[in-house]
């Protein structure tokens, strides 16, 4: 009797779902939509709303008075413009460095390496991602210090360690995000048929010409896809610059200092809108190159 009953309920349920494709769809996408809508977009919404409030500087309490003071302060103060431009510059530089390093590696992995070596190289590229971010950043801190590895090796070439500063920040961030650049480019190059390269050679093109006219245009969307990772991750980063950046600060540090130390949440929220706006513009541009179609 119970079996028939449960069978009956299941049967009825499946019948309802069969008749109502909209309900099916709704049930399927509601968990991820809830995550996207409430958790992600809702959090962003709360952030923007907080940016319009103020803070009592003595007690640190957030005061819900609507005002644009935070944005005005950011706009008028030269230091925040400078920090924003510096952050943008670091993110762009890290992206460029990673493209230059990742491209030959990805090209070798996709086109030259044997299948066994290819698998091994993919694992080798992914392995650093298993190590903790902090471990890697502190490793670079030790390497870049006065008596660290870079100073020792550089001593042979007559150079010295760049020490802690913007150069160190770019080096460390490039190292951290390199796998995120290698893999999309590798995937893009894999999709490039080997026959195209052969055809290009048959038509008389030399290697550089083939690279420039055949490989690069095809792989450009993949490069842009990889750059989204390195650019956005560098834009918001605040830990690396604290560890190896010496006395410098990036946008993330201003947000961190205001959320953590100063507890000026409204101002931190206002500063946090800058990277969000930059990334929206960047993503809109990236979409036009077709990079997001193949990701």
Partner 1 sequence: MSHRSPRLTKIAAACAALTLVAACGTSDDGDDGGGSTGAGGFTAPDLPMMEELGEGEGEVNILAWPGYAEDGSTDPNVDWVTPFEEETGCEVSVKYFGTSDEAVNLMKSGEYDVVSASGDASLRLIAAGDVEPVNTDLIPNYADVYDFLKERDWNSVDGQMYGVPHGYGANLLMYRTDVVDPAPTSWGAVFDEDSPYAGKITAYDSPIYIADAALYLMKTQPDLGIEHPYALDEEQLAAAVDLLKTQREMISEYWSDYLKEVQAFNTGDSVIGTTWQVIANVAQAEGAPVEAILPEEGATGWSDTWMVAADSENKNCAYLWMNHIVSPEANAAVAEWFGESPANPKACDLASKGHCETFHAGEEDYAEQIWYWTTPVEQCLDGREDVTCTDYGDWTQAWTEIKG
| Residues of this chain that bind partner 1 (CB under 8 A) | 37-38, 41-43, 45-46, 48-50, 55-62, 64, 73, 77, 79-80, 82-83, 141-142, 145-148, 163-164, 245-249, 254, 257, 259-265
Instruction: Please report how close the Cβ of residue 249 comes to partner 1 at its closest, in angstroms.
Output: 5
Instruction: Please report how close the Cβ of residue 61 comes to partner 1 at its closest, in angstroms.
Output: 5
If one counts every other C-beta atom within 10 angstroms of the C-beta of residue 262, the result is 15
In the chain, the largest separation of any two C-alpha atoms, in whole Å, equals: 88
- Helix axis angle for 265-288 and 78-107, nearest 10°, is 40
188 versus 266: smaller Cβ distance to partner 1: 266
Instruction: Please report how close the Cβ of residue 252 comes to partner 1 at its closest, in angstroms.
Output: 13
Q: Give the CA angle between residues 193, 107, 105 to the nearest 5°.
A: 160
95 versus 172: smaller Cβ distance to partner 1: 172
Instruction: Please report how close the Cβ of residue 266 comes to partner 1 at its closest, in angstroms.
Output: 11
Backbone angles phi, psi at 33, to 5 degrees: -70, -35
142 versus 216: smaller Cβ distance to partner 1: 142
Backbone angles phi, psi at 118, to 5 degrees: -60, -50
Query: Which token pair is 236?
Result: 């918001």
Which position has the token pair 């968990």? 31
4 versus 277: smaller Cβ distance to partner 1: 277
What separation in angstroms does the CA of 89 have from each of 86, 96, 195, 259? 5, 11, 39, 24
Instruction: Please report how close the Cβ of residue 100 comes to partner 1 at its closest, in angstroms.
Output: 28
82 versus 119: smaller Cβ distance to partner 1: 82
Instruction: Please report how close the Cβ of residue 66 comes to partner 1 at its closest, in angstroms.
Output: 10
233 versus 262: smaller Cβ distance to partner 1: 262
Sequence-distant (6+) residues with CB within 8 A of 273 are 47, 48, 51
| Rounded Cα distance, 33 and 28, in Å | 9
């Amino acid at each position: 009797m119970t079996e028939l009953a449960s069978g009956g309920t299941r049967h009825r349920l499946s019948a309802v779902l069969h008749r109502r494709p909209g309900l099916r769809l709704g049930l399927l996408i509601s968990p991820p939509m809830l995550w996207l809508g409430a958790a992600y977009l809702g959090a962003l919404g709360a952030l923007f709303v907080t940016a319009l409030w103020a803070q009592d500087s003595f007690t640190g309490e957030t005061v819900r008075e609507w005002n644009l003071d935070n944005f005005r302060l950011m706009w008028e103060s030269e230091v925040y413009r400078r920090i924003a431009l510096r952050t943008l510059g670091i993110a762009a530089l890290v992206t460029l460095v990673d493209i230059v390093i990742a491209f030959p590696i990805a090209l070798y992995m996709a086109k030259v390496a044997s299948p066994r070596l290819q698998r091994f190289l993919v694992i080798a590229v992914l392995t650093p991602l298993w190590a903790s971010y902090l471990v890697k950043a502190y490793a670079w801190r030790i390497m870049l210090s006065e008596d660290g590895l870079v100073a020792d090796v550089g001593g042979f070439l007559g150079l010295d360690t760049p020490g802690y500063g913007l150069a160190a920040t770019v080096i460390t961030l490039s190292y951290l995000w390199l796998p995120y650049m290698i893999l999309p480019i590798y995937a893009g190059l894999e999709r490039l048929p080997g026959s195209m390269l052969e055809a290009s050679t048959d038509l008389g093109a030399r290697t550089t010409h083939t690279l420039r006219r055949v490989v690069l245009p095809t792989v450009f969307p993949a490069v842009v896809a990889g750059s989204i990772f390195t650019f956005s991750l560098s834009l918001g980063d605040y830990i690396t610059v604290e560890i190896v950046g010496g006395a410098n600060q990036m946008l993330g540090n201003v947000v961190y200092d205001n959320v953590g130390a100063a507890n000026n949440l409204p101002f931190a929220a206002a500063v946090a809108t800058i990277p969000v706006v930059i990334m929206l513009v960047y993503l809109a541009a990236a979409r036009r190159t077709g990079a997001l179609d193949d990701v």
